[in-house]
Structure 1
Amino acid sequence: KKTINSIYGTRVAVLAGDFLFAQSSWFLANLDNLEVIKLISQVIADFANGEISQASSLFDTDVTLEQYSDKSFYKTASLIAASCRSAAVFSGVSSDMKEAMYAYGKHLGLAFQIVDDILDFTQSAEQLGKPQGQDLASGNLTAPIIYALRNPLVKEELLDILSSEFVEEGSLERALHLVQLGGGLDAARALAQQEGETALAALACLSESPAKRSLQQMVEYVLHRIY
């Protein structure tokens, strides 16, 4: 589908974004709940933090798994975590249950981001709706490549390719192959599974119900995408 930017240009696209942001702020203010307003306001700050973090670490082969996890939280998991906690706030539950729902949303969001990053390596352009390996080509080093760089069998060649920023023809395809060869995809899948299991464990505070089952199925759906 064509984007607003491609149809109307950058100026109109930015103004449309400003309008939507203003509308969301208006609806947020009308919730009349200070705790939720603070939660969602923090999400907006987290979004910016995540984008700045990503932009400042392109092609940085020293990026750690912890830094990747922090960036993934800011960009994706923060919103899901805050939304889950907000629902708990409006339900009037205990502080412990609010924390549990926040943890569920956080780890669901992290699992989602890890899976999304895996798919950048494994799915076709038709499935992704964008070229395969586009995130890697832009220098965004995610869990699969961070893990692959730990493998001495592929580390040096991967570092050479990344340092050249894919200037040589076929280097991106070679890097995608090396990540798989170096076990990066399997390790990232295991990490996503771990985050999903942590999210499910956070639901232990809820009694059995169709609503709880729906939350469990959300985790199952996210993890199913990588197989």
Structure 2
Amino acid sequence: MKESGLKTSPNLTFADLARLLPELYQVEENLHQAVASAEGPVAEMCSRVLRSGGKRLRPMLVLAAGKCFGPVSPGMIKVAVAVELIHMASLIHDDVIDVSSTRRGRPTLNACWGNRVSILTGDFLFAKAFRLLVENQLFDVLRLVTRTVEDMCEGEVEQVIGEFDINQTEENYFSRIRKKTANLIAMCCQAGALIAEKDQEKVEALYEYGLNLGCAFQIIDDILDFIGKPEQLGKPAGLDLAQGNLTLPVLALLRDPFHRSWLQKELLQDKMDGELRQRIVEAVISSGALAYARAVASYYQKKAKQALAVLPVSQYRNLLMNLAELVLVRSN
């Protein structure tokens, strides 16, 4: 049986892949309905976040994983909405933690309304997601979601505590990105499959796909923090570096004998001015640390694609393959 769907292309975009999932329009409608049920200032702030857009990667993964086994069910739509609400909530909290003034080229909630209101708005969206799953009796998915949110919180705490810590290892880094980013992406794939398919091997395969895709996604995100353009990223470039978040490229630079001494000395100061940030960016690029990080991302991408081998051949498996390809070449 020949695979159908979009072919891998260097010019492929998330929008191209979304065309294979017309049910995303239902997800978008449901997101607006969920937000519309809020009242007063909370409604205004939630609507603002929703209107800022985004790739809708996580709903795409829920739907594509489910459609590998059959048509989209109402439960899949509800799960897709819930995971996007969780993602939106986590971004609001991240902006507060990171003291970010812009997101996707627009002022953040905390820049407009302050930290306390922003945190409570994020909490509201978390609660909306949980309520949606409970009301639709999606308890198996709810268990996955709550465990994932626990991991996200642990990962965020580990990142804050690890700022400017020169003794952390790549093992620490990978533990952190699995908790903060990859587990949510993996859960989206797992949940979509769980609703449509009872074969545990296939459900686990989609979880493994999502986990490895999430690791690759985050590593590329960390690379873009050094070389991305703010207008493409939708947030300030160099934000992680400025806050002392030692991502994979910096950890690789710390292993370089030529750069280790001065870099350790500077990081021990627990501060990062513009001049030092630029020096580190130049060193990361010239030393090969970015190339190393990209190679690691490629490794995880390949593992993600390999995990799909047990799935039935379809345009939706092909879509997931294309998503894995797109992760390595994205610019935002």
For Structure 1 versus Structure 2, the TM-score category normalised by the shorter chain is over 0.9
1:84 maps to 2:197: no
Gaps of 5+ in 2: 1-105
**Cα distance in structure 1, aligned partners of 2:135 and 2:277:** 48
Q: 1:4-23 to 2 correspondence within 5 Å? A: 4-23=109-128
CA distance in 2, matches of 1:169, 1:12: 30
Match of 1:174 among 255, 270, 279: 279
1:35 aligned partner: 140
Match of 2:253 among 116, 128, 148: 148
2:133 and 2:139 in contact (8 A); partners too: no
CA offset at residue 163 of structure 1?
A: 1.9
Displacement, 1:17?
1.8
User: C-alpha distance in 2, partners of 1:117/1:5?
Assistant: 23
In structure 2, the CA distance between the partners of 1:222 and 1:15, relative to structure 1 (3 Å rule), is: same
Instruction: Give the root-mean-square deviation of aligned CA atoms.
Output: 1.6
Residues 168 and 219 of structure 1, relative CA distance in 2, 3 Å threshold: closer
Amino acid in structure 2 at the alignment position of 1:150: R
Corresponding pairs, count? 226
**CA–CA separation in structure 2 for the residues paired with 1:168 and 1:99:** 45
TM-score, with length taken from structure 1: 0.93
What are the within-5 Å matches in structure 2 for residues 1-227 of structure 1?
1-166=106-271, 170-225=275-330
Alignment correspondent of 2:43? none
Structure 1: where are the runs of 5+ without partners? none
C-alpha change, 1:178 and 1:22, in structure 2 (3 Å) is same
Looking at structure 1, the residues matched to 288 and 319 of structure 2 have their Cα atoms a distance apart, in angstroms, of 33
Instruction: Determine the structure 1 residue equivalent to 2:75.
Output: none
Aligned pair in 2 of structure 1 residues 220, 20: CA closer, same or farther (>3 Å)? Answer: same
CA distance, structure 1, for counterparts of residue 318 and residue 151 of structure 2: 29
Give per-residue Cα distances to partners, 1:88-139, cap 9 Å, x unaligned: 1101231111110100000000100000000001123333333332211101
Task: Return 114-123 or 30-39, whichever deviates more.
Answer: 30-39
Amino acid at match of 1:82: M
Cα distance, 1:182 vs. partner? 2.2
Is the contact between residue 211 and residue 304 of structure 2 (CA under 8 Å) also seen in structure 1?
A: yes
**Preserved contact between residue 81 and residue 106 of structure 1 (Cα < 8 Å):** yes
Structure 1 residue 37: deviation in Å? 1.4
- Of residues 213-222 and 28-37 in structure 1, the stretch that sits farther from structure 2 once superposed is 28-37
**Quick one: distance in 1 between partners of 2:140 and 2:318?**
27
Find the aligned partners of 1:31 and 1:95 in 2 and give their Cα distance: 23
CA distance in 1, matches of 2:320, 2:129: 25
How far apart in 1 are the matches of 2:229 and 2:268?
Answer: 25
- Using the size of structure 2 for normalisation, the TM-score is 0.65
Question: Any idea what the Cα deviations from partners look like across 1:67-108, whole Å, max 9, x if unmatched?
Answer: 101100111011111111111110123111111010000000
- Deviation track 1:36-61 (CA, whole Å, cap 9, x = no partner) reads 11111101101110110001100011
